[in-house]
A and B are shown apart, each in its own frame.
Chain A
Amino acid sequence: DGGITQSPKYLFRKEGQNVTLSCEQNLNHDAMYWYRQDPGQGLRLIYYSQIVNDFQKGDIAEGYSVSREKKESFPLTVTSAQKNPTAFYLCASSIDGREAFFGQGTRLTVV
């Protein structure tokens, strides 16, 4: 079945630790996106990539990093510079800004 797979579903991070969230798609989509969702805030764009080996910052990129070495994969690293990382993270993909499809999300909690 085609779709977007995010892992893990739940992730716990200690203070000062970097963690990486995985996002894989088998839809053959060129564009991939990372969003952060906080209660009452809606979804905010962190990073997006329209093609392999290229990506752009979204509205809240500080404290995050990404890579796009393969078309299918767009991992997000939450670095120690992100002071408030507890949130629900959603990955999406689309063909050139058309209909977007989302994964099931990763809930990150700082412990």
Chain B
Amino acid sequence: KQEVTQIPAALSVPEGENLVLNCSFTDSAIYNLQWFRQDPGKGLTSLLLIQSSQREQTSGRLNASLDKSSGRSTLYIAASQPGDSATYLCAVVGNTPLVFGKGTRLSVIA
């Protein structure tokens, strides 16, 4: 059964820092990996989708990488801003629908 782990569970950084969020999964037979952002009490907003044949995807200050063989993905956020404060979730799709990690709660301090 696919299991997804996100480390750290919470992270607090000063504004302007670059940071990395980690996601690991146990079954490398995935179709894609998706990173989401969730604000308190809200739904999930899709940030980046990496297909299994890809190594990375970029959108603005965000860069996500995927290493299927090691079962790892990272989300790199450049020049963090207070507006980046949210919970970040990764999810993988394989033979079953999206399986989620528990998320990393990010606080960016002005």
Which of A's residues lie within 8 Å of B, judged by CB?
6, 31, 33, 35, 40-43, 45, 48, 58, 88, 90, 92, 97-105, 107
Which chain A residues border B31 with CB–CB below 8 Å? Answer: 97-98
User: Is B78 an interface residue when CB atoms closer than 8 A count as contact?
Assistant: no
Sample of 18 more A-B contacts, CB < 8 Å, known A40-B102, A100-B46: A6-B43, A35-B100, A42-B101, A42-B103, A43-B98, A45-B96, A88-B41, A90-B44, A97-B32, A98-B31, A98-B49, A99-B46, A99-B49, A102-B45, A102-B46, A104-B43, A105-B41, A105-B43
Q: Is the CB of B89 within 8 A of A105?
A: no
B43 touches A48 (CB 8 A): no
- A65 to B92, alpha carbons, bound, how many Å? 25
Q: Identify which of B34, B43, B46, B102 contacts A90 (C-beta below 8 A).
A: B43
B interface residues (Cβ-Cβ under 8 A, vs A): 31-32, 34, 36, 41-46, 49, 89, 91, 93, 96-103
A104, B46: Cβ atoms under 8 Å? no
- A92 cross-chain contacts in B, Cβ below 8 A: 44, 98
Query: In the complex the two chains form, is B98's CB within 8 Å of A100's CB?
Result: yes
Asked if A33 and B98 sit within 8 Å, CB to CB, the answer is yes
Check A102–B43 contact: CB distance below 8 A. Answer: yes
Partner of A48 from B34, B97, B101, B103 at Cβ < 8 Å: B97
- In the complex, the answer to whether B102 meets A42 with C-beta atoms within 8 Å is yes
Q: Considering only CB atoms, which chain A residue lies closest to B93 in the complex?
A: A97
Alpha-carbon distance between A99 and B91 when the two chains are bound, in angstroms: 11
Instruction: Report 7 cross-chain contacts, Cβ distance below 8 Å, ordered by A residue.
Output: A31-B97, A43-B89, A90-B44, A98-B93, A99-B32, A99-B34, A104-B43
Contacts of B102 in A (CB 8 A): 40-42
B96 partner residues in chain A, CB cutoff 8 A:
45
Q: Which 4 A-B pairs have the closest CB atoms?
A: A42-B102, A102-B44, A104-B43, A43-B100
A101 and B103 alpha carbons, distance in the complex (Å): 17
Q: Write the nearest CB–CB distance from A92 to chain B, whole angstroms.
A: 7
CA of A100 to CA of B35, assembled, Å:
10
